[in-house]
Chains A and B, each alone.
Chain A
Amino acid sequence: MNWRRYRLIVWKEFLQLRRDPLLLRIVLIMPVLQLLMFGYVVGADVTHLPTAIVDHDHTATSRALVNSFASSNYFTIVARPTAEKDLLPLLDSTKAQVAIVIDAGTEVGLLAGRTMPVGIVVDGADSRTASVASGYAAQVIAAYNARRLALQTARVHGPSLDSRVRVVFNPSIRAVNAMIPGLIAAILMISVMAVMSQAVVRERARGTLEQMMVTPLSRGEYLLGKVTPYVLIASVQMGFVAFLGRVWFRVPFNGSLWTVALGLGLFTFTSIGMALLISLVSRTQQQAQQMTMFVMIPTMVLSGFMFPLESMPAPILPLTYIIPLRYALVVLRGSFLKGASIADLAVPLGAMALFSLVIFTAAVTRFSRTLGD
């Protein structure tokens, strides 16, 4: 291992990066774009759903109920049609995505002690909104019932349930708080896998790899020199995302930097290993690109990064255990939001260590054997 030769390779790699001004710009723009997309689009909290109200009851009760919907943050009343048939054009044109239908006789029924239905029409063509809207509606109605019950039983000294529902770790349930820590790991993977695999394949495709091999450069030096610039770039990007996440999106950080560093370190090895494996199976840069997509799309979908693991069907769940990003997410979210210690995160960290060991060693041994071919 010659320090000077290693430095020269790193230098060469940086020079090459600089020669393609567009690529350099992309590398810089990428984290910004990802922060925007993941912070504002995926991390957007679904609120202010456009809601239509059909009130057939016209009583104090129905008005109070409508008020509790209107005053919640979740629903914005955009229309009050008088008949149910007027809902169809509203939902067809997506001017309204939720409709609340209060039947005539609701107040009378309530006073007689019956359970009265409240119709909630959701736009099933948008299943995320539908799911969230029915959850919110249940919450608003539950709160209304609870208030009503409290008023009525103020005189009756009977038993009651005093149950607090408390959200810990992310009390305001901001989606961004879970998104940004995940993005730090995702950006590392994307940068290393997409940019580095291209750089290695390029040398193979152009034949400059052979020229390297006839120089005194050893394979270890070549590999290390090739990896260093991209790990550095990825670190800068991660630092940038973490900084903006803390300052701009105000994501809390409750854990220890050491746990995060350990997790990201292990994940870096895994990502490098995957990048090398991609460059092994690809002959052209375009193939490398396709392989990257082939690995990245399932990773994004199955890791729990964009879509909650709890919403996946049971037969799919076992698949998520072979996605390294899944564990990185547990470590990062655990550190940022929960302040989990290394001991708490032993299982995901262990899994990551195993992944990095297997993928990295397999890739490096296979790669240095094929280097000269």
Chain B
Amino acid sequence: MHAALLRIATISRKEFVHIIRDWRMIVAVAVMPLLQLLLFAYAIGFDVRNVPTVLYDADHSAQSRAYLDAATNSGFFRVIGNVNSNSQIDDAFNQGRARVAIVVGQGFGTALADGRAAHAAVLLDGSEPNSAELGRAYALALNNVFGQRVLTTWAATRGAALNFGQLEPRVRAWYNPERSSADFLIPGLMVVIIMIVTVQQTAVTIVRERESGTLEQIMVSPVRQVELILGKVAPWAVLGFADTAGITAVSLVIFHVPLRGDIALLGVGMFLFVLCSLSIGLVISAVAPTIESANMVGLLVSFLPGFMLSGMAFRLSSIPVFLQVISYAFPGRYMVDISRGVFLRGAGWPILWPQVVELVLYAIIGLVLATALNRRRA
């Protein structure tokens, strides 16, 4: 037992020397995750605002200006200019300068004064689905409010108090009252970033040894397969865990993400998760014939299913069932549950224990599989 531990430690030390000999590797492991965190946290958001809008006022009456002002003041539409014809709207849309056009037809003011229906239109560019979807909601609400105001003022000028009640949505966001995207994203982001870093790095460790012939040298030494795998995992597990701690510290200090739950649970989860992603990397490394293909598989696995099927940015319950099933094969979704639960919902062991158990099983299966595959290759 003691001898085995010693052999694992020796392999770990060798791996560690490999890592620190290459300064670019250090940058990749220590600096890249933080850069990614900053980039994602600042840039990603889903709250669409400031949609570029053109106004076309064919009426030039007090009423048409009132309507357009109501639109401008809603805060959703950012007016970039006025146009004078429908073809100018087409140009603005085709050139991508504007995504919304608000058009007030001729005779708008007189129609309202005469008590008839006045015509207006809101055009939305559907090639950016997020803005179009929200723009439609805002436009409908705007028309609703304006239409009612017109009617009540008209009634008031005739001495009749026409007063219709109306319903008004009052939105409250639980768990994240300011609806800060950073609060929502960062707990998931750290999971994805750790996955990208660890899978990428370990995907090549064994292939590289095989290509440079050093794997054979290890094979003739007393080191056993399990020891080799564990020895390779250990330094990366330490680094991955250090990365996690660094990212957590930055999230708390710079982004003020609330940490409402049990930090020990988060730590245990993250440690298990690092082991899971390392085992994915090692499985790739054992299967891939060349460094190139190991790199490509690592890239594909960590970026596509690892990122997208983790539930970090995209709702898993909206996707087709067969992809939901596939998502269980990647450890990201369990860890995103844990991370978001601990950070935002203040959840503890009673709620999150199933995810922890899943990660434990995942890590064990992954490491055993990596060892078995590597043995078969050797």
Q: Knowing A41-B323, A139-B137, A340-B95 are in contact, say whether A158-B151 is a contact too (CB < 8 A).
A: yes
Establish whether residues B296 and A127, one from each chain, have CB atoms under 8 Å apart when the complex forms: no
Establish whether residues A170 and B24, one from each chain, have CB atoms under 8 Å apart when the complex forms: no
CB contacts (< 8 Å) of A209 on chain B: these are none
Which residue of chain A lies nearest to B290 when distances are taken between CB atoms in the complex? A20
- A58 to B218 alpha-carbon distance, docked (Å): 75
The answer to whether the Cβ of B220 comes within 8 Å of any Cβ in the partner chain is no
CB contacts (< 8 Å) of B176 on chain A: these are 124-125, 127, 130
Query: Which of B91, B123, B150 meets A159, CB within 8 Å?
Result: B150
Query: Which of B125, B179, B323 meets A36, CB within 8 Å?
Result: B323
Q: Knowing A165-B139, A168-B126 are in contact, say whether A194-B299 is a contact too (CB < 8 A).
A: yes
Which residue of chain B lies nearest to A172 when distances are taken between CB atoms in the complex? B126
Q: Knowing A160-B117, A293-B299 are in contact, say whether A116-B167 is a contact too (CB < 8 A).
A: yes
Q: Knowing A65-B167, A164-B122, A168-B125 are in contact, say whether A91-B174 is a contact too (CB < 8 A).
A: yes
CB contacts (< 8 Å) of A146 on chain B: these are 140, 143-144, 147
- A244 to B219 alpha-carbon distance, docked (Å): 47
**Nearest CB of B to A309, in Å:** 8
Establish whether residues A125 and B175, one from each chain, have CB atoms under 8 Å apart when the complex forms: yes
Establish whether residues B304 and A33, one from each chain, have CB atoms under 8 Å apart when the complex forms: yes
The answer to whether the Cβ of B133 comes within 8 Å of any Cβ in the partner chain is yes
Q: Knowing A22-B288, A92-B347, A164-B122 are in contact, say whether A334-B96 is a contact too (CB < 8 A).
A: yes
CB contacts (< 8 Å) of B46 on chain A: these are 127-128, 131-132, 307-308, 311
- A323 to B154 alpha-carbon distance, docked (Å): 53
Which residue of chain B lies nearest to A108 when distances are taken between CB atoms in the complex? B165
**Nearest CB of B to A121, in Å:** 5
CB contacts (< 8 Å) of B136 on chain A: these are 139, 165, 167, 173
Establish whether residues B120 and A161, one from each chain, have CB atoms under 8 Å apart when the complex forms: yes
Establish whether residues A159 and B114, one from each chain, have CB atoms under 8 Å apart when the complex forms: yes
**Nearest CB of B to A232, in Å:** 18
B32-54 CB contacts (< 8 Å) to partner A = 32, 36, 39-40, 42-52
Query: Which of B138, B146, B293, B318 meets A161, CB within 8 Å?
Result: B146
Which residue of chain A lies nearest to B51 when distances are taken between CB atoms in the complex? A310
Establish whether residues B127 and A338, one from each chain, have CB atoms under 8 Å apart when the complex forms: yes
Establish whether residues B293 and A168, one from each chain, have CB atoms under 8 Å apart when the complex forms: no
Q: Per-residue CB proximity of B290-317 to A under 8 Å, as 1/0?
A: 1111011111100011001100011101
Q: How many A-B residue pairs have CB under 8 A?
A: 400
Establish whether residues A174 and B129, one from each chain, have CB atoms under 8 Å apart when the complex forms: yes
Q: Is the interface of A mostly helix, strand, loop or mixed?
A: helix
Number of interface residues of A (CB under 8 A): 128
- A156 to B152 alpha-carbon distance, docked (Å): 11
CB contacts (< 8 Å) of A110 on chain B: these are 165-167
The answer to whether the Cβ of A347 comes within 8 Å of any Cβ in the partner chain is yes
**Nearest CB of B to A30, in Å:** 6
Q: Per-residue CB proximity of B106-131 to A under 8 Å, as 1/0?
A: 00000111111111111111111111
Query: Which of B49, B146, B163 meets A310, CB within 8 Å?
Result: B49
- A41 to B171 alpha-carbon distance, docked (Å): 27
CB contacts (< 8 Å) of A162 on chain B: these are 117-120
CB contacts (< 8 Å) of A46 on chain B: these are 315, 318
B residues contacting A by CB (< 8 A) are 24-25, 28, 32, 36, 39-40, 42-52, 67, 91, 93-96, 99, 111-134, 136-141, 143-144, 146-148, 150-151, 154-155, 162-181, 183-185, 196, 200, 204, 208, 287-293, 295-300, 304-305, 308-309, 313-315, 317-320, 323, 340, 344-345, 347, 351
With A128-B184, A170-B127 known, 19 other A-B pairs at CB within 8 A are: A22-B293, A33-B300, A41-B323, A113-B165, A126-B184, A142-B137, A144-B167, A146-B143, A158-B151, A158-B154, A159-B111, A168-B125, A175-B129, A202-B291, A285-B295, A297-B39, A306-B313, A311-B130, A344-B95
A residues contacting B by CB (< 8 A) are 20-23, 26-27, 29-30, 33-34, 36-37, 40-42, 44-48, 50, 65, 91-93, 106, 109-132, 134-139, 141-146, 148-149, 152-153, 156-175, 177-178, 194-195, 198-199, 202, 285-287, 289-290, 292-294, 297-298, 301-302, 306-308, 310-316, 319, 330, 333-334, 337-341, 344-345, 347-348
6 contacts between A and B (CB under 8 A): A41-B308, A118-B169, A135-B134, A170-B126, A177-B127, A345-B94
